[in-house]
Amino acid sequence: MSSVGDIAAGRLPQEQYQRNFDDIEPPLERKHALVEASRCYFCHDAPCIEACPTGIDIPGFIRKIATDNVRGSAITILEENIMGGACARVCPTEVLCEQACVRTAQEGKPVNIGALQRYATDWLFARGIQPFARTAPTGKRVAVVGGGPAGLACAHRLAMLDHETTVFEARAKGGGLNEYGVAAYKVPHDFAQREVAFILSLGGIDLKCGRALGRDVTLAALRRDYDAVFIGTGLAGVNALKLEGESLKGVEDAVAYIERVRQAADKSRLAVGRRIVVIGGGNTAIDIAVQTKRLGAEDVTIVYRRGPENMGATQHEQDFAQTNGVRIKHWARPAALVGENGALKAVTFERTGAEAGRFTLEADMLFKAIGQVFVASPYGGDSHDLLRLKNGRIAVNGDRRTSLPDVWAGGDCIEGPDLTVNAVEDGKRAAHAIDRFLKQNS
C-alpha cells in the first residue's frame, strides 16, 4: 500500500529514462524511404496536398525522394512549411495528409508521408544546408511577438521577402511549443533548437529572448517603431477545474509539467506520482499521461467527460496512450478532490453517460489538461490599440490581419486548429499579406 502523496523522482533505472524519452518513431533509412516513396501514386490534384494546412506539394517531394533528389525534396517541403522538420514529427498525419492519401481509401494503408517528410528534412539538416537566400533588404522592419511556430514562420517568410524582422520571445529560447510543449519523445534531443537555428541562419531575423509583451514591450510601442506587427503569442492561461482543493499538493497544470519534462536534462530527477489521474481528452492529456507513465508512474488514468470519438486526441494518439499502459475512462467528470494533510488523496468522479452515479480514483497527482485560454491583458493600451477578439481569441481575416490595420496574428492566439502546421501557415500567410501591405505603403 502506498501512502498519500506518493510523489518521487528516480522511479526507474537510469538507462530506462534514456530509452523512454528517445525518438518514438526512428527515422527511415534510405532503402525503406525508397520503398515507401514508391508507394505514392503521384496523384493529379492530390488530396493530400489539399489536406495539408501548408499545402506542401507532397507527391512532388515524394517523387524526389524516389529519385534520390533528397535535397530538392527537402526544399519542396520547406518552401511551403519552414517547420517541415517539426511537422514531420508532430503532425497528426492520420487526420491530415495521410487520411486523405488515396491509398487510405484503397487499402487502409496510406503512404507514410510524415516519415518521408522527416527523411528529406533530416537529410538537409544533417548537412547543414541553407537552401534559401536573401537579396537586397527592402528597409522595412516588422516586429514579431512570440518566437513559436507562427512567429518564426512569419519572420522567416518576411526575411525571404527581404524585410527585416525582430522577434520578441518571452521565454529563454525560441521554438514555442516545439521546445516547451510537445511530448519529449516526439521531438527528442535538441531538434527544436536546431530548427530555430536553421530558420535564423537565413539572416534578417533578430530573435530577442526574454522579452515579453506587456512587460518589456508594448503593442503601442511596436506599432510606433515598426512598419508592421505580427502577434503569435499563443495561449498564456490554463482552464481550471473550478473545484475545491485545486491548490492541494499534487494538483498540477499539464502544460507546466510537460514544460518541466521537456527542459529537464536528467529526467530521473523529475518527481512523479505513483497513481496519476489526467483530466481531459486532447493531445495534451495524452502527452502528460504517456510521459508520466514513462517517468515511472504505476497507474495512469485519463478521465474524459465524453466518448472516444469526441476526444480531441486522434485515434492514433489514443491507441498510443493505451499501448503505453495508460487507461482511458470515458463519460465521467471530476466532482470532488479529496485531500489529506494538504496533499491530494483521491478524485471523485460523476458519470456523465447513460448511467448515473459516482466513483473514486485514488491519486497522488492530478493533471489538468482541459484546455488553454488566451490572456488579453498584455495587449492593453489605449482604445486606439484595442485588438478586437472573437470567441476569446484575436479576431483575424483570411490574411490573418487583425482589427488593427498594421497588425497581423496567427497560431494559437487566433481561432482554429492548435497544430504547429496551422501556426506555420498562419505565419506564412500573414507574411505575404504584410509584404503586400509594405509594398503599397512604400
Partner 1 sequence: MADLACTFAGIRSPNPMWLASAPPTDKEYNVVRAFKAGWGGAVWKTLGEDPPIVNTASRYGTLEVNGQRMVGFNNIELITDRPLDVNLREIKQVKRDWPDRALIVSLMVPCTEESWKRVLAQVEETGCDGAELNFGCPHGMSERGMGSAVGQVPDYVEMVTRWCKQHTRMPVLVKLTPNITSILGPARAAKRGGADGVSLINTLNSIIAVDLDQMAPAPTVGGKGTHGGYCGPAVKPIALHMVAEIARDPECAGMPISGIGGIATWRDAAEFMALGAGSIQVCTAAMHYGFKIVDDMIDGLNNWMDEKGYEDLGALVGRAVPNVTDWQYLDLNYRTIARIDQELCIKCGLCHIVCEDTSHQAVAAQRTNGQRRYEIIDAECVGCNLCMHACPVTGCITMVEAPTGKPYLNWTEHPNNPMREGK
Angle, CA 178 vertex, CA 7 and CA 255 arms, to 5°: 35
Which residue's CB is nearer to partner 1, number 33 or number 182? 33
Which residue's CB is nearer to partner 1, number 59 or number 214? 59
C-alpha cell at 218: 508594448
Q: What is the CA radius of gyration of the chain?
A: 23
Which residue's CB is nearer to partner 1, number 35 or number 129? 35
Contact (CB, 8 A) for 289 and 298: no
Q: What are 44's strand-pairing partners? A: none
CB of 35 to partner 1, least distance (A): 5
3-state class (DSSP) for residue 344: strand
Which residue's CB is nearer to partner 1, number 106 or number 441? 106
Which residue's CB is nearer to partner 1, number 42 or number 359? 42
Residues forming contacts to partner 1 in the complex (CB under 8 A) are 34-35, 38, 41-47, 66, 102-103, 105-106
Which residue's CB is nearer to partner 1, number 43 or number 243? 43
Count CB neighbours of 144 within 10 A.
34
Which residue's CB is nearer to partner 1, number 45 or number 382? 45
Question: What is the rounded CA–CA span in Å between residue 196 and residue 191?
Answer: 9
CB of 59 to partner 1, least distance (A): 10
Question: What is the rounded CA–CA span in Å between residue 365 and residue 7?
Answer: 8
**Alpha carbon of 31 to those of 23, 36, 374: distances in Å?**
20, 9, 45
CB of 398 to partner 1, least distance (A): 18
Count CB neighbours of 440 within 10 A.
7
CB of 28 to partner 1, least distance (A): 13
Question: What is the rounded CA–CA span in Å between residue 163 and residue 132?
Answer: 14
CB of 85 to partner 1, least distance (A): 25
Question: What is the rounded CA–CA span in Å between residue 142 and residue 156?
Answer: 11
3-state class (DSSP) for residue 21: coil
Q: Is 178 exposed, middle or buried (0-12, 13-18, 19+ CB in 10 A)?
A: buried
